[in-house]
Homo-oligomer: A and B are copies of this chain.
C-alpha cells in the first residue's frame, strides 16, 4: 500500500520531562486536510524477570491515574538517546530491587498506536540477585514472587488487565515455548 497519509507540518505543544505532546496537520486518504494530536515518546522498556526455579515477580503498583493498585511488570520510559536495555536494568533495580546478569530481548509492542509513538521493548532478565528496592516519590509498589501461571491470573484478576504487562507475558510465553 502506498502511504495514504502525508505530514504537512508538526508542532510541539507541550514539552515535559516525560514526553512531548504534538499537533500535526496532514493530508488524509481523500486529499482533505486532517489534524492529529498525539504523545511523542521515544520508547519504554519492560522487564520479565525469570528466576532459576521458573518463577517470576510482579509489582502491585498504585497508579495515580486510576486511583488504585494494578498488577504489572517493571516498566519505565526510555529517555531520548538512552539504550532501552539500560532503562530495563534501572527499572528492575529501582522498582523491583533486583539486578540481573543475563538479559535477552523478547520483542516489542506498540501499547497505544493511535495516540502515542511509543514502542515498548521487552527484556527477559535472568541470574537475578536482590539489591533492595529504591522507589521514586512518584512510585508506590510492592514486589510479589509467583509462578508464571499465577502471574497470568493476577494480571487478569484486575478489573482491567494492564495491556503492557500482558504483552510482555505473552512474549515470554512464546520465547519459552520456542525453547522447549
Q: Give per-residue flags for A20-44: 1 if the beta carbon is below 8 A from chain B beta carbons, else 0.
A: 0100101011101011111101000
- In this assembly, does A174 line the interface, its C-beta being within 8 Å of a C-beta of chain B? yes
Q: Would A4 and B140 count as touching, CB distance under 8 A?
A: yes
> With A and B bound together, what is the CA distance between A41 and B114 in angstroms?
12
> With A and B bound together, what is the CA distance between A139 and B34 in angstroms?
11
- Which residues of chain B are within 8 angstroms of A41 by Cβ–Cβ distance? 115
Query: 8 Å CB contacts to B: which residues of A102-122?
Result: 107-120
- Which residues of chain B are within 8 angstroms of A64 by Cβ–Cβ distance? 5, 24, 26, 36
Q: In the complex this chain forms, how many copies of it are found?
A: 2
Q: Would A19 and B115 count as touching, CB distance under 8 A?
A: yes
- In this assembly, does A154 line the interface, its C-beta being within 8 Å of a C-beta of chain B? no
Q: Give per-residue flags for A123-154: 1 if the beta carbon is below 8 A from chain B beta carbons, else 0.
A: 00000000000010111101000000000000
Write 24 A-B pairs (CB below 8 A) sorted by A numbering.
Answer: A1-B62, A3-B62, A4-B62, A5-B62, A13-B14, A14-B21, A16-B35, A18-B37, A18-B115, A19-B115, A30-B137, A36-B64, A38-B65, A65-B113, A75-B114, A109-B161, A109-B163, A109-B166, A112-B116, A112-B118, A120-B160, A156-B174, A161-B167, A163-B164
